[in-house]
Amino acid sequence: MSRKSVPAELSASVPVSPESSQLLVVFGKFGLAYHRWARSHLPVDAGLTVPRATMLLGLATKAERVSMGELAEFLEMSPRNVTVLVDGLEKENLVRRVPHERDRRATLIEITEDGKRVVEKTLLPSQLAIAELFEDLTPRDRKDLIRLMMKLLTSLQARGVEAPA
C-alpha cells in the first residue's frame, strides 16, 4: 500500500473543527490501546506474533496462492521482512512455497493443512476474544460504528489512500 503525503496546499488551508481535533487524539489513543488488546489475546504458546498471525489469517482467507509481493503489500512490509516471516512459517510447516505455473521467476505461498489447523484452533478463537470488545457497544452503536468507519475509509480512498478491500 502506498503512503501519500498531504499536499501542502491542503494541509494549511482546510479549517478543522475542535471535534475533529479531538477525534484525532481519541483515534490515536484507541489505535494504540486496540493494538495492545489484540496482541494480548494472541496465544503466546503458539509462538505467533501479530505479523505471523496476520499472514496466516490472510492466507487462510485466500482461495488461491499468493505471491510474495502480494503478501508484502497486504502486510505493509518490505519484501525482505516477508521472506523472513515465510521462512519461519515454512520451517514450522504452516506455509509452503510453490513455483508459479507460468512465471519461473515467481514463487507463490500457500497455507498448509497444519497452518489451517492453527488458524482454526488457535487464531479464530483468538479473533473472537478480540472482537468481544465490541460487545460493550449496543447493536445500534455497532451498526453506526461500522457505517462511520466505512465512510471514513471511503474518504481516505477519495484522497488517494489505498485501503484493504
Tens of pLDDT, residues 7-38: 555 555 678 999 999 999 999 999 999 989 98
Domain tally, the chain: 1
In a domain? residue 63: yes
Task: Decide which of 46 and 127 is more confident.
Answer: 127
In a domain? residue 148: yes
Closest to 62 measured CA to CA, from 125, 132, 115 = 115
In a domain? residue 24: no
Beta pairing, strands 66-67 & 107-111: antiparallel
Task: Decide which of 43 and 11 is more confident.
Answer: 43
pLDDT surpassing 50 at residue 98: yes
Q: Which three cell numbers stand for residue 140?
A: 445500534
Q: Which residues have CB under 8 Å from 71's CB, separation 6+? A: 55, 58, 77, 82, 85, 86, 109
In a domain? residue 78: yes
Residues spanned by the domain of 62: 46-158
Inter-CA distances, 4 with 102, 140, 159, Å: 33, 34, 9
pLDDT surpassing 70 at residue 1: no
CATH of the domain at 143: 1.10.10.10
Tens of pLDDT, residues 106-131: 889 999 999 999 999 999 998 899 99
Per-residue pLDDT at 5: 55
The residue-averaged pLDDT of 140-152 equals 97
